[in-house]
Amino acid sequence: MGLLSSLHFKLAVLVTTTAAALAAAEAQTKPGCNYTCGNVSIPYPFGTSENCYRDEDLYFFLNCTTTISPSSGEATTQLFSEDVQVLNISLDPPELTVSGDVSKHCYGFNDDVSGNWMMFPNYSISNTKNRFTVVGCDTYAFVEDLNGTFTTGCVSSCSKETRFEEAGACSGVGCCQTSFPETIRDYNITLLSFKNYTKVRDFNPCGYAFIAKKGSFNFSKRELRDLSNRTEFPVVLDWAVPNQTCREAQKDARRYACKQNSTCKEPRSGIGYYCVCEDGFKGNPYLDTGCKDINECDGDNRCSRICHNVDGNYTCSCPWGYGGDGYKDRSGCKSPFKEISLGISVCFLVIFTLVSTLCWGNKQRALKQLKRQYFERNGGNYLLQLLHQQQGYIDRTKIFTEDELKIATNNFHESRILGHGGQGTVYKGILPDNSFVAIKKSRVGGDSRQVKDFINEVTVLSQVNHRNVVKLFGCCLETEVPLLVYEFVDNGTLFDRIDPLKNEHSLSWETRLRIAAETAGAISYLHSSASIPIIHRDIKSANILLDHNHMAKVSDFGASRLIPLDEAQVSTVVQGTLGYLDPEYLLTGQLNEKSDVYSFGVVLLELLTGKKPYEFLRLEQKNLATYFASSMKEGSLLEVIDKRVLNQKYVEQLQEVAFLARRCIRVHGEKRPTMKEVATELEGLIAMKRHSWVKGEDMMFEERECLLGHAAASTSAGYDGAYGNVSANTFATYDCIQKQMAFEIADGR
């Protein structure tokens, strides 16, 4: 439950964060318009459909395209301006990040010259955010605009023996970089080689040239070989509202792009203009009311004491009785009572000490009274009365104080937590005599009915004295929720011991069968031999503890119900664990002893198969009980048996336990056996294995042939450990047994 709660919390945080990010992106565009394309946010004035971009300028129209890969069938959504893929859009500064091609020239080309060109009619290439880069060992390249108004280039050379500088250096050895003029809208790259890479072809037979965003490429010796895998790099473009300067646009109110609380600026290229929110405002300046007031009082400001947020700005002031303007960099706030502050401080200190002492005494009395109230509300007086009436049991059940259990658990420190359950948290405790106990913080409520049920449970469990039931040592009732003190069982749960992911060496079949018999005997005792029958209601492998000898201990009676002798069943709110829950109880809400039988049947399935009772990711049926029943019906039982216990000498027991488990998980409770019958049958299987000579000549001929015939020679092969290989004779024997089991299933066994 703790892990599930943690997962729910993380999922809620992820959903909240994602929703906030989507809301922020949506606020940057017009209502009803797409605000993302793939992973790219699309702020207005850009848009992908009519009325979603700035109408006066088709320049801001972007094409959102979804393509499906013919090979994988996966869909990819991309954003394009003209024929160039857009990777990111920024309003301030006004920039587009697009995908630019890499020019490549390699040894063996018929032509000694290679290159490519790109054109951005509506944008200018940022000369401050990009660099022209050449990579190679016999390479030189130059870049020019298509009109031929500028040309710049770079030379790169090296050899196999060259000692390169630290990673990231691009200074002419294997790599060189240079800048280019601003306000260019297109470029053409020409890539050449001095000697066609003839001297370095075994080391670096290619040269590369490209324009890329600063920081997107870090040169290293490895790039000389691996750059052939890169075909694109990000390129930063400057954009602006075209056709008018900032001054011209301000005079044309109809076409002016900057809205309320914003102003225009001249771009670096000097072409057009762009909009920004005024100081004290933040948002999208191209949308009506897009620039919203920032509350400067929430962040760093110049106020010494009191900050007042105003539209687009803030003011400072001082508290009543102080002088000054309230600004840190001016006069600040000065107190007129500085001269008498020391005397007042001393007086306050004396008064505070006196009041603290009185409050501490009051708090101790209130705490003592509260503990008494908790004790009475949790039925402490009623419990003491019942324990005195039950002579012989009062010495077995102790009423612990809260302080005793706090000391035992180091004030319930999280390092002492043994686990979380549906009914509370279990802590490891150490009593003054150095004995270990398990202390459960119950989640039982405080109404009168729940208190009475809780007290009845404590009094009944104090009478339970069964070697396979966890002993209840006592309880604490002076806390808000009752605390139960149980014996400490040190070898974990059955669930953990049979999980193949947690234990490489699993329990043997003999141990599993013995644990099943001990558990069945304990549940049978609760149903039949306790003074008032007890239905556990949460039988599962996680509630079966194992001691150092792997003896089973049934635990966690927080969900248990007491069934009066004159009642066969009770109506109750459905409670249990997914996968173990009796379907008839789930449907009717009527709880009886057969509900525990169903849950125990699922535990038997876990022991047989090593699988969890319910797995969402299981390729077969998710519910283990349904999957097991269908496997038996189809005659494929051995396919679902845990390979770690499947062995020639156990197949008869495995078969009998499988039939018993199938009877326990029948949908109709009246068709299930009682726990007493289940315990008797399991004990019989163990006894039969100890005294196998009892069967003698009574074994049927078919079973003798399967078990002792041609399989006898292969018995010594068997399984080689928990994950060994089965011999051919063993497979033949299992096939024979499989057919015999299929015959018995069809015969209605």
Give the pLDDT score at 97: 95
Is 747 part of any domain? no
Give the pLDDT score at 112: 55
Instruction: Tell me the C-alpha distance between 734 and 738, whole Å.
Output: 6
Is 70 part of any domain? no
Same domain, 530 and 670: yes
Same domain, 509 and 626: yes
Instruction: Tell me the C-alpha distance between 178 and 127, whole Å.
Output: 10
Three-state secondary-structure class, residue 164: coil
Question: What is the helix (H) or strand (E) element at residue 249, kind and residue range?
Answer: helix 246-251
Same domain, 483 and 577: no
Q: Which long-range contacts (CB under 8 A, 24 or more apart) does 219-223 make?
A: 219/135, 219/167, 219/168, 219/169, 219/170, 219/174, 219/175, 220/164, 220/167, 220/168, 221/164, 221/174, 223/135, 223/175
Same domain, 278 and 210: no
Count up the domains in the chain and report the number: 6
Three-state secondary-structure class, residue 57: coil
Q: Which of 669, 528, 523, 547 is nearest to 604 (CA)?
A: 523
Is 5 part of any domain? no
Q: Which of 189, 229, 221, 219 is nearest to 204 (CA)?
A: 221
Is 167 part of any domain? yes
Domain that holds residue 265: 245-294
Q: DSSP string spanning 656-693? A: HHHHHHHHHT-SSGGGSPPHHHHHHHHHHHHHHHHTGG
Is 55 part of any domain? no
Q: Which long-range contacts (CB under 8 A, 24 or more apart) does 573-582 make?
A: 575/422, 575/537, 575/538, 576/537, 576/538, 577/422, 577/538, 577/540, 577/542, 577/613, 578/613, 578/614, 579/540, 579/612, 579/613, 579/614, 579/623, 579/624, 579/625, 580/538, 580/539, 580/540, 580/613, 582/669
Residue after which a domain boundary falls, among 472, 488, 504: 488
Instruction: Tell me the C-alpha distance between 610 and 603, whole Å.
Output: 10
C-alpha to C-alpha distances, 252 to 53, 80, 240, 256, nearest whole angstrom: 19, 31, 17, 6
Can you read off the two tokens belonging to residue 216? 């997107």
Same domain, 332 and 405: no
Contacts of 277 (CB under 8 A, 6+ apart): 92, 261, 262, 283, 285, 290, 291
- Compute mean pLDDT per 10 residues along the chain, 749 residues long, and list them: 46 45 68 91 92 82 88 82 91 92 81 72 88 91 88 88 73 88 88 84 86 90 80 92 90 90 87 91 92 89 90 88 84 72 82 89 79 73 65 64 91 88 80 90 61 65 83 83 85 87 80 95 89 85 91 82 63 79 89 93 94 80 88 87 86 92 93 94 86 46 38 31 33 44 40
Same domain, 357 and 447: no
Three-state secondary-structure class, residue 271: coil
Same domain, 411 and 346: no
Same domain, 110 and 206: yes
Q: Which of 534, 658, 661 is nearest to 597 (CA)?
A: 661
Q: What is the CATH number of the domain that holds 249?
A: 2.10.25
Is 749 part of any domain? no
Contacts of 719 (CB under 8 A, 6+ apart): 643, 646, 647, 725, 726, 730
Q: Which of 62, 56, 59, 41 is nearest to 284 (CA)?
A: 41
Instruction: Tell me the C-alpha distance between 524 and 533, whole Å.
Output: 10
Same domain, 473 and 499: no
Instruction: Tell me the C-alpha distance between 600 and 678, whole Å.
Output: 10
Residue after which a domain boundary falls, among 653, 681, 696: 696
Give the pLDDT score at 719: 29
Cross-strand partners of 236? 97
Same domain, 534 and 681: yes
Same domain, 508 and 621: yes
Q: Is 75 exposed, middle or buried (0-12, 13-18, 19+ CB in 10 A)?
A: exposed
Is 329 part of any domain? yes
Q: What is the CATH number of the domain that holds 448?
A: 3.30.200.20
Is 110 part of any domain? yes
Give the pLDDT score at 588: 87
Cross-strand partners of 157? 138, 173
pTM for this structure? 0.46
Contact (CB, 8 A) for 390 and 459: yes
Q: What is the CATH number of the domain that holds 176?
A: 2.60.120.380
Q: DSSP string spanning 578-629? A: TTTS-HHHHHH-EE-HHHHHHHHHHHHHHHHH---SB-TT-SS-SBHHHHHH
For the annotated catalytic residues, the residue numbers are 538
Residue after which a domain boundary falls, among 438, 455, 488: 488
Same domain, 218 and 290: no
Q: DSSP string spanning 203-242? A: T--EEEEEEEETTS----TTHHHHGGG--EEEEEEE--B-
Count how many residues are written for the chain: 749
Three-state secondary-structure class, residue 151: strand
